[in-house]
Structure 1
Amino acid sequence: MSLIESISGILIAKNPTGVQVQIGGIVYNLSISISTFEKLPDLNQPVTLLAHLHVKEDILNLYGFELLSERALFLNLNTISGIGPRSAMNILSGTTPSEFKQKIINSDVQSLTSIPGIGAKTAKRIIVELKEKFSISDENDDGLSFSDQPDSLISKDAKNALKSLGYKANQISKAFSEISKDGKVIDKLEDIIREALKRM
């Protein structure tokens, strides 16, 4: 589990690659993708971003995401040799998580190389590293949308939240099964919880 799950505060500065969020007397700098930038509120308005704290030696960097699926792809890309956080964020700015996942499953090297920051060798490496993982997630991911692989955090977090509300494991499993049968694409934790509660 990440040390910092999310950041909530006042948005005081933004550009296509980064934001500044003020929480009390502290201002945090977070790197973001263009897709997250496009969904930001106006300046001086409240904002909440999912977060990842990347630690390398004595350097700490915060990355912010509007969607769980975006953070999931970022974390997956960081498991691949030769792709660091900056490259992963550039990739996120050039595609959506669902589009990227489909390119991997289809072994579509040509489409992958059209994304800024991905050459032919890198595209092939990404396919080798992630194709099986993404294919398995399609079969065993409770029928929900692209989640926080490799740990399926979106499903686990939703189930844990429901358990904390007093629901039993069999009730939760039944609700998730019904959501899966409905074929709904759900990308936000609160939406999954809401859908599950409707079925309790």
Structure 2
Amino acid sequence: MIEFISGTLVSKNPTSVVVEANGVGYKILISVTTYQKLPSKNENCKLLTYFHVREQEQTLYGFSSEEERSLFLQLTSVSGIGPKLAQGALSGATPRELKKAVVLNDIKYLTSIPGVGKKTAQRLVVELKEKFSKETGIPIAELEESYSLETFGEENDTFSESSEAVLALVSLGYSRQVATSAIHRVLKAHPEGLAVSELIKRALRHT
């Protein structure tokens, strides 16, 4: 396992970076949370990593803190949640916010995170609430209804249009909170959904 990579930050965007170490350029996928903590390009950068190997796919994921990496691994331990979706969840909330929402059974908050749908939110609550309660010291909230893992089904492990729009706004210089709030207001007015480009245009009117 590659524990961390330290080197020169060659390029960066809200979803990935390239770090040069000993003459080799490593492409590393990151969350928006990590992106906001990166140094300027051409400066030294150190990222904790997780090396994901799956058949013909080999991907490096990077994290700015051990807390974020640990939460990433906990999320991917949940049935049906892969690295991309876990990274999307980390882009939409801080580790503390995410754990608190799971413990308190706050489905509304969890589904406001880019990439997290209702079924995924329910699965997170069922499988991680006890562990997160012990870590945070927050008492477990009673479930409003009974959930069965068998009823959850599979969920597409890709970023939704809303998550892409949030990342685009962040790349334009808006904070994650402002971007997420703007996207939510647009989607509330257009529950039928919009194309990413149109979603971004309308969201800019709310920032």
TM-score, normalised to structure 2's length? 0.64
For residues 48-95 of structure 1, the C-alpha deviation after alignment (integer angstroms, 9 at most, x for no partner) is 011110111232100000011111111111111221111111111100
**Aligned residue type for 1:62:** L
Counterpart-to-counterpart distance in 2, 1:138 and 1:118 = 22
Corresponding residue for 2:100?
A: 102
**Aligned residue type for 2:67:** S
2:59 alignment partner, SS class: strand
Corresponding residue for 2:133?
A: 135
Corresponding residue for 1:11?
A: 9
1:107 alignment partner, SS class: coil
2:66 matched to 1:74?
no
CA contact (8 A) 2:16 2:30 kept: yes
Corresponding residue for 2:25?
A: 27
Corresponding residue for 2:90?
A: 92
Question: Gaps spanning 5+ residues in structure 1: where?
Answer: 140-200
2:62 alignment partner, SS class: strand
CA contact (8 A) 2:50 2:60 kept: yes
The alpha carbon displacement at 1:96 in A equals 0.4
**Aligned residue type for 2:94:** T
Residue pairs, 1:178-197, within 5 angstroms? none
CA contact (8 A) 2:28 2:62 kept: yes
Counterpart-to-counterpart distance in 2, 1:113 and 1:47 = 32
Alignment RMSD = 1.1
Aligned residues: 137
Q: After the TM superposition, which segments of 4 or more aligned residues of structure 1 sit over 2 Å from their partners? A: 136-139
Corresponding residue for 1:114?
A: 112
- Percent identity (aligned): 50
**Aligned residue type for 1:88:** A
For residues 109-141 of structure 1, the C-alpha deviation after alignment (integer angstroms, 9 at most, x for no partner) is 1111111111111111100010011122346xx
